[in-house]
Amino acid sequence: MTRLSVNINKIATLRNARGGNMPDVLKAALDCESFGAEGITVHPRPDERHIRYSDVRSIRPLVKTEFNIEGNPIGSFVALVCEVRPDQVTMVPDARDAITSNAGWNTLSNRIFLSEMCSAFKEKGIRTSIFVDPDPKMVEGARVCGADRVELYTAAYAENFKSDPQKAVEPYLKAAETARECGLGLNAGHDLNLDNLSFFIKTIPWTDEVSIGHALICDALYMGLEKTIWSYLEQIQNF
């Protein structure tokens, strides 16, 4: 069964816009769990424009489901992850000034660096995942680096879904089949929503986890957080 991990970055963005502690990011994480989410994802960036490093430290002992920290493995990020020891770390090659993640790793040209990072995190007992584009070569490269999983960057799927769902998902299916053949776990994330999620899971039912933040929090503005999480779980479970 595919697990739903809720990315709570956008809740922190709203809090930071005004200062203070409204909305309460820690409460939101616990509420997501109580409403059925099977994981919590955070993506701290160096400028702390949404999730702060202090948030990560505060959330870690409270989360009872799976805790996933994603981000670019710069020095401060690596130190934070090794300190709090989440269940999973997802390495994403986003630039410091990136609005959001916009590409996966080239696991071939970055093999030495990613191998070192995988080794360092796994020594702490942390499952490692590498964020990649839907390219079988990049998936194979992730295996060589020693990753436990890959997370497929699904922006292109979401962009092309409305015009041709089958064509949109084809490269993801090929990459997912490569991951399965390589013995890698499979995650997916970025721009997945209530319109396109079910088709993705139906096509690639061995997806271990989807990480969804922006669309889910936007839907929650209209439907409420609890109903929204139920709706996403329904899309996953009833494809």
Distances (CA, A) of 173 to 5, 29, 91, 188, 211: 21, 31, 21, 12, 18
* Dihedral angle sign, alpha carbons of residues 203, 204, 209, 210: negative
Q: Choose the catalytic residue: 38, 140, 151, 190.
A: 190
Task: List the catalytic residue out of 38, 66, 70, 209.
Answer: 70
Active-site residue flag, 70: yes
For 12, list phi and psi in degrees, rounded to 5.
-70, -35
In total, the chain counts a number of residues equal to 239
* Integer CA distances (angstroms), 78 to 69, 70, 119, 189, 217, in order: 10, 10, 12, 21, 27
Is 43 noted as a catalytic residue in this protein? yes
Point out the catalytic residue in the list 43, 50, 140, 151.
Answer: 43
Q: Which residues are catalytic?
A: 43, 70, 190
